[in-house]
Amino acid sequence: MYYVYFLKSQSNQLYIGCTTDIQNRIMRHRKGEGAEFTNRNKVFDLVYSEEFTTLLDARRREKQIKGWRREKKENLIKFGKPNIVK
């Protein structure tokens, strides 16, 4: 399985990544072995993830989400839906 995941810092910085092993990847981020951004900004708390059967699908979704505005990402985290009717 492949996963797209969001990590969040205490200062609300978001990191979006893709992995085959969420637990191991988060531990690597926490040890400073993750992305430079997560190490610099202490982005460690898993706040959202989606599961995919193929790497291609996971990478497409990661790229799609990274292109969204912050509000849409926050809605996905909070409600599991990117677009919320207000």
Kindly write down the DSSP assignment for every residue of the chain, as one continuous string.
-EEEEEEE-TT--EEEEEES-HHHHHHHHHTT-S-HHHHHHT--EEEEEEEESSHHHHHHHHHHHHTS-HHHHHHHHHHS-S----
**Quick one: pLDDT band at residue 20, thresholds 50, 70, 90?**
very high
**Quick one: pLDDT band at residue 83, thresholds 50, 70, 90?**
low
**Quick one: pLDDT band at residue 40, thresholds 50, 70, 90?**
confident
User: Do the Cβ atoms of 83 and 72 come closer than 8 Å?
Assistant: yes
Strand partners, 51: 3
Residue 65 has pLDDT above 60, yes or no: yes
Question: What is the percent of the chain where pLDDT is above 90?
Answer: 58
Q: Which two tokens stand for residue 79?
A: 């409600």
Residue 86 has pLDDT above 60, yes or no: no
**Residue 52 pLDDT:** 95
Could you please state the CATH topology (level 3) that the domain comprising 2-79 is classified under.
GIY-YIG endonuclease (3.40.1440)
Q: Which residues contact 75 (CB under 8 A, 6 or more apart)?
A: 81, 82, 83, 84
Mean pLDDT, rounded, of the chain: 87
